[in-house]
Amino acid sequence: MRILLAEDDPLLGDGLRAGLRQLGFLVDWVRDGEAAERELRAQPYAAAVLDLGLPLKDGMEVLAAIRRDGIALPVLVLTARDALPDRIRGLDIGADDYVVKPVDLNELAARLRALVRRSHGQPQECLAVQDVILDPAARTVTRGGVPVPLSAREFDLLHALLLNAGRVLSREQLEQHLYSWGQEVESNAIEVHVHHLRRKLGNTLIQTVRGVGYMLARDLPRP
């Protein structure tokens, strides 16, 4: 799950980035409001963690600007401003959640997973199709109740397809889900990961839409 972190404090930002990465997130980190707005317009992030006290452009201004332009990704506001009027204003402008610093990393990760899940219309914590169940918090996958070991990339690919069940995702879209800044992407990386997932989970799970991309159907026929 790829997210944008907008935080100008170098120690806090580095700690949040490192901690969220350990919990399975791909994190792109920016340190000012103008960079945050630019990246949110350019990249299809799953969610954003937005500090309000950013240099160059205040976090409230960034949030208001992207909402005016119809950018609907989940935004979790992370701030030291704990006054009730600030929280109300942030939520009214378009924040999906509001956390006052300091924040526990596990709580932050859980809130992000919940925001992303709800933004895709997924009410349950675990995602499932046929007898395959993915637990985003534990980062585990089972098939017929049996654990299936997946690499980090394989897990993230399956997670993206499950979140978007019934929708075709292009190779470029999947690459954007799986790789953050500075990570090299082999030209056939997605095809290789899909091949490994099919070998581990069965050939009927992930469907190829020729010339477009890949899709995981909401209701698949049992083999």
Interval 93-124: pLDDT, tens: 899 999 988 889 999 999 999 999 999 888 88
Q: Is the pLDDT of residue 165 over 50?
A: yes
Mean pLDDT of the chain: 90
Q: In the predicted model, what is the mean pLDDT of residues 191-212?
A: 92
Q: In the predicted model, what is the mean pLDDT of residues 152-164?
A: 93
Residue 169 has what DSSP assignment? B
218 vs 129: which has the higher pLDDT: 129
pLDDT category, 223, cuts 50, 70, 90? Answer: very low
Calpha distance 214→1 (Å, rounded)? 18
> What pLDDT score was predicted for residue 158?
95
pLDDT category, 86, cuts 50, 70, 90? Answer: confident
Calpha distance 116→136 (Å, rounded)? 11
Interval 18-72: pLDDT, tens: 999 999 999 999 999 999 999 999 988 999 999 988 999 999 999 999 999 999 9
Neighbouring C-alpha atoms within 13 Å toward the C-beta of 57: 17
Calpha distance 89→82 (Å, rounded)? 12
> Which three-class secondary structure state does DSSP give residue 203?
coil
Cβ-count burial 76-93 (b if 16+ within 10 Å, e if not): bbbbebeeeebbebbeeb
At a CB cut-off of 8 Å and minimum separation 6, what does 93 contact?
Answer: 60, 63, 64, 67
> What pLDDT score was predicted for residue 184?
63
> What pLDDT score was predicted for residue 101?
86
Q: Which fold has domain 127-215?
A: Arc Repressor Mutant, subunit A (1.10.10)
pLDDT category, 92, cuts 50, 70, 90? Answer: confident
| CATH for the stretch 2-119 | 3.40.50.2300
Per-domain residue ranges for the chain? 2-119, 127-215
> What pLDDT score was predicted for residue 217?
76
> Which three-class secondary structure state does DSSP give residue 204?
coil
> What pLDDT score was predicted for residue 100?
86
Q: Is the pLDDT of residue 209 over 70?
A: yes
